[in-house]
Each structure stands twice: as structure tokens, then as C-alpha cells.
Amino acid sequence: MKLIGIIKKAWFRSKIITIGAGIVLILLVLFICYSCSAISGQKNKTPADRAQVQGSADPDGHTASGSPQDLAGAIARLSQAYPAENAETDPDREAFVEDFWRWIFGEAGIPERLARKVAASALEGPSFIMELLMVLQQDPYTYFLVDKQHSLPLDYEPDDLVPLAVGAYQVSRDGLMLRRAAEEALREMAAAAAAEGVILKAGSTYRSAAYQAQVYEREVNNYGREAADRQSARPGTSQHQLGLVVDFTPIDDTFAKTPASQWLLGNAGRFGFSLSFPDGYEEATGYRWESWHYRYVGRDLAAFINTHFDGIQQYALQFIHAWQEQPES
């Protein structure tokens, strides 16, 4: 494959390659072999629309890498700032960093601030790639990108949905369901919260595409289409269809001031949950702040999001999506 050839050429031409650099090389090659072989399998499992994600800006005003050339200089400098230990600067290595990482950041729509951070993490050692490999070994739906540009098939329904029952957590109504792993994690998380005097109450969970259509039309009728599009997903583009999302009650802005909200902000990641639509990131996520909307992504991915992407789920999922979309030649 052409990409692997580039990596081998870029790294093996270094005059002095330490053991640490060799480990990074091996992991990169193994990862790309793994990801390329997995792409076809992922497409078969999730035949969703794979339109490219457009560039965006983060709340700090940094322009996203929808214009990859803006990052070229920064990424090249990172190659010098974070070289392999004791290795001499190699033009081929810099070219690899510029071409490969710049392409990934551009496809992922990652803001320059985060692009610098991710590139630095990847160049410092093998831990970043190892963490990413662990994530990609999970159920693919835990990291599947579902947003306004990337949809699920309208007939998609998880085959392991289980009903929510009052126990460690509370429910607002009958009929709520989650995928088994998400329900088990919710139960564990709610028990930990209850031990600290905090009660978690689920108000909305799995929604079929047909039910989501009703929710969306109701929002349109009540608030108009423009306002509805800021706070309600169209059928096929809702994370709720994954069966991995919990909307905690009350499902409105007052939730942010509750003890449950404060507890979740500090603890949800330990149990594999991630806030999907944080405050100030509407341009990136497509939706206004929803302090109550948490997606189960698994502990490994939750840690990956919090460590490398400042807790912004959307950017991490766009990054993973770009990795999976690497051209094979």
C-alpha cells in the first residue's frame, strides 16, 4: 500500500533510529494495516452516509483544518519539537508528518489548537497509537460518527436492547431501552452517584428512526424548522438511534444546575459516558448545548476523548472517522 510505503520510507531513512522510534514505526504500520483491513468490514456493518465533514471553528476562534495548508508549518515544527529521542532531524520524517497528519487533520475538521495537541501526543511515543488501537477493537457503533453529515440506515435497530428498570437509577416513564452494555454501565454509574447522594434519572434513551421523525416534526411545529434543527436531529442522524444515549432529566437547560449534572461532568467518563453537545461547540456539533445528553462510548474511548481531545466527543469521533477513511492507495 502506498501509505505504508510512505511511512517506511520516511522513518527508515533516519540516520539514527532509537528503539523508541522503532516501536512507534511498528505500531504505526500495524495500525494502518489493521485500519485499512477493518474499513471494508466497518462499511459492511454500518452502511451510513459518509459525506466529508466540513471545517469548523472552536469557541476559542481557531479555524478548523478545513484548510490543511494552514497547519503545514505548525505540524512541521512539531516534528522538530517532538523528535524521536536522540534521532536526527530527517526531511523525509518531516514530510511524513506534514503530508500524513495534515491530511488526517483536514479530513477530521480538527481545530488547529487540538491538531497541535494530537500531533504532539502521537510524536512523543507509541501510547497514543496504542490507545487508538484499543478503541478500534471495541464495538464499532460505540465510535460510529452520527451527526448531520453522517447518518445511520433508517432501518437500523440494535439487536441487544434491554428495558430500563428502576433500581440504582430512576426512569421518567416506562418503555425506555438501552443496549445491554450501556444499561450495565448506567447502572454502575448510578450506583456510584447514589453513594454520594446524587440520583440519576433517565428521561429518554433509544429512539427508532420512525419515532425520531415524530420528535423532529413536533419540534418543527412548535419552534419552526430553523430552531428545530439546532436542538433536534432528523431521522437517521440522531445518536439516540444507536441505543447508547441517555437524556437525563430534566431535559432542558435547568439540568445544568442540578447536582446530577455536576456529578456527571466530573465522573461520567469513568463509566464510559461522554457529553455529546457541550456548551460553546454548536458550530462543530451542529446542535446547541445539551447538558443532559450523554452517549455511552466505553471507558477506553471516553478516556481517549478526555485526554487527547479536551473532552470534545465530536472532534474525537471525526478524527477516528478520518482514520478509517484513509485511502488504500
pLDDT of residue 319: 95
* Same structural domain, 211 and 93: no
pLDDT of residue 302: 98
* Same structural domain, 71 and 16: yes
pTM to 2 decimal places: 0.75
Residue 314 lies in a domain: no
pLDDT of residue 4: 38
* Same structural domain, 122 and 202: no
Question: Could you list the pLDDT tens digit for every one of the 329 residues in the chain?
Answer: 444 343 334 333 333 334 344 444 444 544 444 444 443 344 334 433 433 332 333 333 333 333 334 444 444 444 444 444 444 455 665 566 567 777 888 889 999 889 988 888 888 888 999 999 999 999 999 999 999 999 999 999 999 999 998 889 999 999 999 999 999 999 999 999 999 999 999 999 999 999 999 999 999 999 999 999 999 999 999 999 999 999 999 999 999 999 999 999 999 999 999 999 999 999 999 999 999 999 999 999 999 999 999 999 999 999 999 998 876 64
* Same structural domain, 131 and 211: no
* Same structural domain, 179 and 262: yes
What total of structural domains would you count in the chain?
2
* Same structural domain, 37 and 120: yes
Last residue within a domain, chosen from 105, 138, 171: 138
Residue 258 lies in a domain: yes
* Same structural domain, 12 and 97: yes
* Same structural domain, 165 and 129: no
The domain containing residue 8 runs over which residues? 2-138
* Same structural domain, 250 and 291: yes
Residue 152 lies in a domain: no
Residue 195 lies in a domain: yes
CATH of the domain at 165: 3.30.1380.10
Element (H, E) at 8: helix 2-12
Residue 306 lies in a domain: no
pLDDT of residue 90: 59
CB-based contact 151:237 (threshold 8 Å): yes
Residue 272 lies in a domain: yes
Cα torsion 18, 22, 24, 27 to 10°: value is -170
pLDDT of residue 327: 67
CA distances from 37 to 66, 142, 151, 203, 328 (A): 27, 19, 22, 39, 9
* Same structural domain, 107 and 168: no
Long-range contacts of 224-230 (CB under 8 A, 24+ apart): 230/282, 230/287, 230/288
Residue 219 lies in a domain: yes
> Cα 117 to the chain's mean position, in Å?
16
* Same structural domain, 116 and 36: yes
* Same structural domain, 133 and 33: yes
Residue 107 lies in a domain: yes
